[in-house]
Structure 1
Amino acid sequence: MPLRALFGLLLCAGCAPLSAQDATRAPEPNTRVPAGVVRYAPSVFPDRIVLSPAQDAAHGFAVAWRTDATVAAPVLEIVTAGDSPDMGTPRQVRASSRELRTENGIARHHRADVDGLLADTLYAWRVQGGGTWSAWHHARTAPAPGAPLALLYFGDTQNKNVSLTTRVVREAMRHAPDARLALFAGDLVSGGDGEDDNEWGEWFEANESLPTSMAVAPAPGNHEYFEEFEDTPRERRVLGAHWPLQFALPGNGAPGAERTSYWFDYQDVRVAVIDGTSALDLGTAQAQARWLDGVLAASPHRWNIVVTHQPFYSPRAGRDNALLRKHLLPVIRRHAVDLVLQGHDHVYGRRLPGEAPTPVFVVSVAGAKQYRLSEQAQRTMRPVAEDTQLFQVVRIDGAHLRYEARTATGRLYDAFELRDDGSAKSLVDLPEGRIDERRCERAKTLKGRADRCWE
């Protein structure tokens, strides 16, 4: 046996060694942009266009986009979509703009908030650049409660987005072409390596048409922050410059986390997004708990979903987000939230139900970085997975909520249904058609790390 493979076995008892082919492979860089190459420079052409829900998604949405610094105050045009290329005279909405200096040059990020729309109506819209326009995009506002809804949920994308996240997004859209909403559980990019703008460019490229064909609602992850004054007594977490400009999110967040927490209503569901990094590292856990309590108490809907980056019950060894359980978990349990959608730990795990069928806690990962499960997760979660890129489809139709987790190739990995009979909710596991649980078979990564499966 080669010495490298033998060393891998010693580091990871029970894991298979790197194959001879793996032993000669070089790790893939985090972005495809070679050193010294400018791939994602802003220009007069609008790019990084992303639609997000308004607080009331039936009657409004907001759009963010980017141009170079010569474009000062562009507009968004919107009109009811029609079959003729002449759709009539569009309404114009003036955008607000902010400047951002990155490794790719000076850009202006723009935001237009569109209100006064009709529910369940298909609109055509485009955004302005410098003497040019984007394509006309279509977006349908949310119907009134009672209509069926399909939404997508992605765990961390984070690394090698164009290379390996692209296929997951395409497969998700193939499986749910009727999806109206996409939830991302944080760490959309990795950051901190001098390529932040390249990474955001790759995130948008990997997502292709998704951000303009459905509403995108992301949670911030720890990698959306950076360490200021790192390795000094003044070290602290600071929100990255891209986050407040890259998305046009509802401005209704918790005190102290106004830019990174928010909520909105979409048909029969209220979605609340919390900022786990701010709660854990910046002292906002109690403020976010009070805010979340009010958001959930006022919810008029049958279904409630919370999205957060850091899990309440971590499936990775050595992690324990105790502050989330102390301050925010009692609120989530008191209001019997239906789904808690999480990321951060780069494995898959659904926590086994306790005395009550809800909340259902799920951790997933869409991107290339893959960790290993803790022993506790293997006892308290089922199903679990390592070394697996996944996406999730959630379908809500009246009293039924169906959840499916699928692999990057579209195979069914997990499925269950929540049913509401009017007096209580029940969880029905759906094992038919699922593939077997997947575990990491590598002793270590190509970079030699035995605590991960892939990076």
Structure 2
Amino acid sequence: MGGIALCLLALHAPAARAAAEPNTQVPAGSHHYAATGFPDRIVASPAQDAAHGFAVAWRTDATVRAPQLQIVVAGDSPDVGKPRVVNARTQELRSENGTSLHHRADIDGLQPDTLYAYRVQGKDTWSAWNHFRTAAPAGQPLTMLYFGDTQNKNLSLVSRVIRQAWRSAPDARLAVFAGDLVSGGDGVDDSEWGEWFEAGRWLLEGTAVAPAPGNHEYFEEFEDTPRERRVLGGHWPVTFALPANGPAETAKTTYWFDYQDVRVAVVDGTSALDLGTAQVQAKWLDKVLGDNPHPWSIVLIHQPFYSPRADRDNVELVETLLPVLRKHRVDLVLQGHDHTYGRRGDEGGAATPVFIVSVAGPKQYRLSDMARRTMRPVGEDTQLYQVLRIDPQHIGYESRTATGRLYDAFELRRDASGNKRLVEIEQGRIAPRDCPRAASPKGREARCWE
């Protein structure tokens, strides 16, 4: 048989099922991400009043017991001047990579819309000087990023999404993550956290990062026994330096902050659904949203109120928390968990809330028939990030693919009376994407990719 005929046969032959790659690039037995005296896993987060403060968390090994953060107004000379010194608080964590110390420094009394340079201390060494700009006063435009679940293969495949997001919005000051940042359970996930930080390093050090906890930030203690229960993993409370203003029952996982013209409230959906805190969080959220002096509000939560995946109805969220969102006319509800894309409005055709589910990572599920009937647009088999541009009268929203192509876009417009309407932006969008595979690489029909 000739070479051309063989090529034609190869083109029309059934494609071999691609293999799913490991969840991390760390070989078995490697301790590549063990802590050392050099500071790493540096991440900045907004203070409750993001115009006047922020906080930084970082990690070292157990030799660094009383580290400091230094901060100055950033300038153009290598002579940075005399920095302000902020003492850090320290907590210990034990993982499969050994013992590490996690440090937190809270910086207050800063000037709005000001570029600062900061560095954090290790053992006889320091990090690089990182730049961080505080929030501007209300009334100034804000660019922010929103990522759905990262969770799997963070270094291999999520990193490209974060890089592309930064290319699309180099002026972004705030980045929110909708939970399930990593996949593993407590005690086996330190390397996954290491890859998450490596995937987003520059973004995490120089942007105000606000994550929501997902169900994978919890683990099952006493699994498959009568004592089984959900427990927050040890990494979450020490990895981020988040505002401590949530209710006592979810003090480590719920919080809120003001950033220019928007109030952001972060809700712990896993605790609400599995640990009985829905009522407590609803009461807290009612007060946080009721006191909002700004024209816009965003709620960040992992589990969706309207799920685009089949057989996932989060009834407790709908019955307990959704009435609070409706009462206060929340503008955007940013969600993850279902590893697809879907956008919809609320019942009754109101302009807000707008409910969005997105996914940044490679783990991809399939849409339900209900999602295809009630959401527009929807998407499968697509890694995405979102860019939001906010001023007092507008929220511009774009969802883009890992290669930067426009997938979804709309604008919320607010008039002088506070009335809001949603305007679809169709121009430039690519066609909605569906999963082209009958089963995932591991043969699972309910998934598109592993």
Common fold: TM-score over 0.5: yes
Identity of aligned residues (%): 71
User: TM-score normalized by structure 2?
Assistant: 0.96
Letter in 2 for 1:346: H
Question: How far does the alpha carbon of each residue in 1:167-214 deviate from its partner, in whole angstroms, 9 at most, with x for none?
Answer: 000000000000000000000000128531000000001112000111
2:11 matches 1:49 = no
2:109 matches 1:116 = yes
Partner of 1:448: 443
Partner of 2:141: 148
Letter in 2 for 1:430: I
For 1:351, which of 320, 335, 344 is the aligned residue? 344
User: TM-score normalized by structure 1?
Assistant: 0.95
Aligned-pair distance for 1:254?
2.1
Q: Is the 8 A contact 2:70 2:86 kept in 1?
A: yes
Partner of 2:23: 30
Within 5 A, what are the aligned runs for 1:160-179? 160-179=153-172
Partner of 1:404: 398
Task: Give the match's secondary structure for 1:97.
Answer: strand
Aligned-pair distance for 1:431?
0.6
Q: Is the 8 A contact 2:366 2:446 kept in 1?
A: yes
2:343 matches 1:371 = no
In the aligned structure 1, how far is the partner of 2:382 from the partner of 2:16?
18
In the aligned structure 2, how far is the partner of 1:27 from the partner of 1:361?
31
Q: Is the 8 A contact 2:151 2:181 kept in 1?
A: yes
In the aligned structure 2, how far is the partner of 1:294 from the partner of 1:185?
22
Letter in 2 for 1:65: W
Aligned-pair distance for 1:384?
0.1
Aligned-pair distance for 1:88?
0.9
In the aligned structure 2, how far is the partner of 1:99 from the partner of 1:38?
18
In the aligned structure 1, how far is the partner of 2:441 from the partner of 2:410?
36
Q: Give the aligned length.
A: 437
Cα–Cα, structure 1 residues 425 and 19, in superposed 2: closer, same or farther, change >3 Å? farther
Partner of 1:9: none
Q: Is the 8 A contact 1:255 1:287 kept in 2?
A: no
Cα–Cα, structure 1 residues 311 and 19, in superposed 2: closer, same or farther, change >3 Å? farther
Q: Which runs of 5+ in 1 are unaligned?
A: 1-17
In the aligned structure 2, how far is the partner of 1:151 from the partner of 1:32?
30
Partner of 1:195: 188
Cα–Cα, structure 1 residues 193 and 370, in superposed 2: closer, same or farther, change >3 Å? farther
Partner of 1:433: 428
In the aligned structure 2, how far is the partner of 1:193 from the partner of 1:328?
28
Q: Which runs of 5+ in 2 are unaligned?
A: 1-11
Aligned-pair distance for 1:367?
0.2
Letter in 1 for 2:424: D
Q: Give the superposed CA RMSD.
A: 1.1
Partner of 2:413: 419
Aligned-pair distance for 1:105?
1.1
Question: How far does the alpha carbon of each residue in 1:130-171 deviate from its partner, in whole angstroms, 9 at most, with x for none?
Answer: 000000000010011010000000000000000000000000
In the aligned structure 2, how far is the partner of 1:91 from the partner of 1:221?
36
Partner of 1:291: 284
Question: How far does the alpha carbon of each residue in 1:279-304 deviate from its partner, in whole angstroms, 9 at most, with x for none?
Answer: 00000000000000000000000010
Q: Is the 8 A contact 2:150 2:158 kept in 1?
A: yes
Letter in 2 for 1:246: T
Task: Give the match's secondary structure for 1:388.
Answer: coil
Partner of 1:6: none
Partner of 1:390: 384
Q: Is the 8 A contact 2:214 2:269 kept in 1?
A: yes
Partner of 2:296: 303
